[in-house]
């Protein structure tokens, strides 16, 4: 039987506010345990929450970024359950009236095609603390620094049909939130976490199958692998006559499998009700309009502009707009050199290759956009040839000079375009290569084109790579043909 996979994602994004969603404690990552948990975060008796404006603004920006409805009124509810990392015994969240209504996210698949994934809603809530299980005499230690960090939970419709689509969706969300600057998107530090709902159904069937929820899948790669495993498991189960149970599962990256979390003795009953310590959040139109007017260009628009205005290929436009850092770098290079296609080639080619080799992010590139821009400009105005340009890039990468011009100067890489100088080098090479000249002369005229490569190489070598290759080519041809 043919099976179809149905996937929905709940993505939790930590918002990049300075302070917590309901308190004035810092959200900085990595502090000593409980040093950033104030009375409100600890749920001490009598303290009260006050909502952070930046968290609201960031949620609305996200909503605008996915063309979602922004309801005028949203309400915070309490989700009640006991857990040691949940200090108040409830999580303040939004159950019934979320801050962001239905919207959609465009994803780009590997073949360059796009697909729209509907977002059901996004709501604000507070993060929980962390339980540390290393041995405290058989006890668990609780660190509440993270408690109260603002989270935006983005809930998709079950619109994805493959692990690749799910990963592409997650990347698109990552790209939107980092473009907007509302999250650092750092998955390793837990700034973005993901729960995946997976079910399978016979191809052509309309009704959804029973779904399993895979909790806390925290990298793009794991999302793909967890789904791949889970889909296999469900299909095998059904084909063997079994049934998928609606349950929560955990992905274990070490074993590369999902497994059932210990079933609780009874289903949860979160007893949601409106938080009486917080009032309805009312967003006036002027506020929303102001945020809309100040929205940065988002990846989808950028991709379209790169393709349309700058004339890049669909592939290049997609890659260069995928992350805000990449796009900004590329645009800065383009600004300096004045040639979008050359800039795209260099950023995607030499630079990305070097970054990948060293495992560096673009933000950590040893070569700045301004430096690379100048280098590309020198290629464009033919001050240096391509080969020399690569040398200059290596020198910049290893901090052998501050700028392309300085390196060109110091290394004497300036392209030689003086015809007299090139002719002298050609004459020397011809004089030193009687055998090759003889071969050339004896060859059929249509084979000679290939044979000229040897002479070009020798001349370039003699010029230490600085001669203009086109000039060398033309002059050589002239001189050799004169000998025939």
| Identified binder of another protein from the candidate list 113, 133, 431, 482, rule CB under 8 A | 133
Stretch that binds another protein, among 34-42, 308-316, 372-380, 399-407 (CB under 8 A): 34-42
How far out from the chain centre does Cα 336 lie?
Answer: 24
Give the interface size with another protein as a residue count (CB under 8 A): 66
Nearer to another protein by C-beta: 48 or 410?
48
Stretch that binds another protein, among 35-43, 99-107, 191-199, 459-467 (CB under 8 A): 35-43
Minimum distance between the CB of residue 173 and another protein, rounded to whole angstroms? Answer: 22
Give the largest CA-CA distance in the chain.
100
Nearer to another protein by C-beta: 141 or 401?
141
Contact call for residue 261 and another protein (CB under 8 A): yes
Nearer to another protein by C-beta: 275 or 362?
275
Burial of 285 from C-beta contacts in 10 A (0-12 / 13-18 / 19+): exposed
Minimum distance between the CB of residue 155 and another protein, rounded to whole angstroms? Answer: 20
Contact call for residue 47 and another protein (CB under 8 A): yes
Contact call for residue 254 and another protein (CB under 8 A): no
DSSP 162-216: SHHHHHHHHHHHHHHHHHHTS----TTTTSEEEEEEEEEEETT--S----EEEE-
Residues 310 and 357: their CA atoms lie apart, in Å, by 28
| Identified binder of another protein from the candidate list 116, 161, 221, 271, rule CB under 8 A | 271
Contact call for residue 17 and another protein (CB under 8 A): yes
Contact call for residue 314 and another protein (CB under 8 A): no
Instruction: Give, as ranges, the residues between 214 and 253 that touch another protein (CB under 8 A).
Output: 250
Contact call for residue 71 and another protein (CB under 8 A): no
Residues 390 and 384: their CA atoms lie apart, in Å, by 10
Contact call for residue 56 and another protein (CB under 8 A): yes
Question: What region, left, alpha or beta, does residue 67 occupy, with left being phi > 0 and alpha being psi -120 to 50 degrees?
Answer: left
Stretch that binds another protein, among 13-21, 155-163, 187-195, 462-470 (CB under 8 A): 13-21
Stretch that binds another protein, among 100-108, 129-137, 341-349, 454-462 (CB under 8 A): 129-137
Pairing of strands 212-215, 247-252: parallel
Contact call for residue 401 and another protein (CB under 8 A): no
| Identified binder of another protein from the candidate list 43, 102, 190, 469, rule CB under 8 A | 43
Residues 28 and 20: their CA atoms lie apart, in Å, by 10
Alpha helices in 282-397 (DSSP H): 285-293, 299-308, 314-321, 324-337, 340-346, 352-358, 369-380, 386-397
Nearer to another protein by C-beta: 25 or 187?
25
Between helix 220-239 and helix 163-180 the angle, nearest 10°, is: 150
Contact call for residue 474 and another protein (CB under 8 A): no
| Identified binder of another protein from the candidate list 69, 112, 131, 353, rule CB under 8 A | 131
| Identified binder of another protein from the candidate list 89, 253, 338, 349, rule CB under 8 A | 89
| Identified binder of another protein from the candidate list 101, 102, 190, 274, rule CB under 8 A | 274
Contact call for residue 181 and another protein (CB under 8 A): no
Contact call for residue 180 and another protein (CB under 8 A): no
Buried b (16+ CB within 10 A) or exposed e, 101-112: bebebbbbeeee
Q: Tell me which residue of 93, 99, 150, 151 sits closest to 272, measured CA to CA.
A: 93
Between helix 53-65 and helix 285-293 the angle, nearest 10°, is: 70
Contact call for residue 30 and another protein (CB under 8 A): no
Nearer to another protein by C-beta: 142 or 170?
142
How far out from the chain centre does Cα 140 lie?
Answer: 35
Helix (H, G, I), strand (E, B) or coil at 66: coil
Contact call for residue 98 and another protein (CB under 8 A): no
Residues 105 and 377: their CA atoms lie apart, in Å, by 37
The binding site for another protein (CB under 8 A) comprises 17-19, 23-26, 32-39, 42-56, 75, 78, 80, 82, 84, 87-90, 131-133, 136, 138-144, 250, 261-262, 266, 269, 271-274, 276-282
């Amino acid at each position: 039987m043919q099976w179809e996979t149905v996937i929905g994602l709940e993505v939790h994004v930590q918002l990049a506010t300075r302070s917590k969603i309901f308190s004035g404690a810092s959200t900085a990552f990595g502090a000593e345990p409980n040093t950033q948990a104030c009375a409100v975060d600890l749920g001490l008796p009598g303290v009260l929450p006050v909502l952070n404006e930046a968290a609201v603004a960031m949620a609305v920006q996200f909503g605008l970024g996915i063309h979602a409805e922004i309801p005028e009124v949203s309400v915070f509810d309490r989700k009640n359950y006991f857990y040691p990392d949940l200090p108040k015994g409830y999580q303040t969240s939004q159950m019934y009236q979320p801050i962001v209504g239905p919207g959609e996210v465009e994803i780009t698949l590997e073949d360059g095609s796009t697909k729209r994934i509907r977002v059901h809603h996004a709501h604000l809530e507070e993060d929980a603390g962390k339980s540390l299980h290393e041995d405290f005499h058989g006890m668990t230690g609780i660190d509440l620094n993270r408690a109260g960090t603002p989270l935006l939970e983005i809930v998709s419709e079950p619109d994805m049909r493959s692990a690749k689509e799910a990963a592409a969706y997650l990347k698109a969300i990552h790209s939107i939130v980092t473009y907007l600057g509302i999250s650092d998107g750092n998955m390793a530090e837990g700034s973005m976490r993901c729960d995946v709902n997976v079910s399978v159904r016979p191809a052509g069937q309309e009704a959804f199958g029973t779904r399993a929820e895979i909790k806390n899948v925290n990298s793009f790669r794991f999302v793909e692998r967890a789904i791949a495993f889970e889909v296999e498991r469900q299909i095998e189960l059904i084909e063997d006559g079994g049934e998928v149970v609606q349950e929560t599962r955990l992905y274990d990256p070490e074993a590369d499998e999902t497994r059932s979390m210990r079933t609780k003795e009874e289903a949860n009953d979160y007893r949601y009700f409106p938080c009486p310590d917080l009032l309805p959040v009312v967003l006036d139109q002027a506020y929303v309009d102001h945020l809309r007017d100040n929205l940065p260009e988002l990846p989808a628009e950028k991709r379209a502009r790169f393709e349309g205005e700058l004339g890049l290929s669909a592939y290049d436009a997609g890659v260069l707009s995928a992350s805000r850092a990449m796009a900004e770098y590329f645009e800065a290079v383009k600004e300096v050199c004045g040639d979008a296609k050359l800039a795209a080639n260099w950023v995607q080619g030499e630079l990305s290759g070097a970054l990948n080799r060293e495992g560096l992010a673009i933000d950590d590139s040893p070569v700045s956009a301004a430096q690379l821009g100048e280098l590309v400009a020198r290629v464009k105005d033919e001050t240096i040839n391509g080969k020399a340009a690569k040398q200059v890039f290596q020198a910049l990468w290893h901090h052998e000079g501050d700028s392309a011009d300085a390196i060109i100067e110091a290394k004497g890489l300036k392209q030689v375009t003086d015809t007299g100088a090139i002719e002298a080098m050609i004459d020397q090479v011809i004089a030193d290569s009687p055998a090759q000249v003889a071969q050339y002369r004896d060859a059929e005229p249509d084979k000679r084109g290939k044979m000229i490569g040897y002479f070009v190489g020798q001349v370039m070598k003699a010029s230490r790579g600085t001669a203009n290759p086109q000039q060398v080519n033309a002059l050589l041809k002239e001189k050799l043909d004169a000998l025939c």
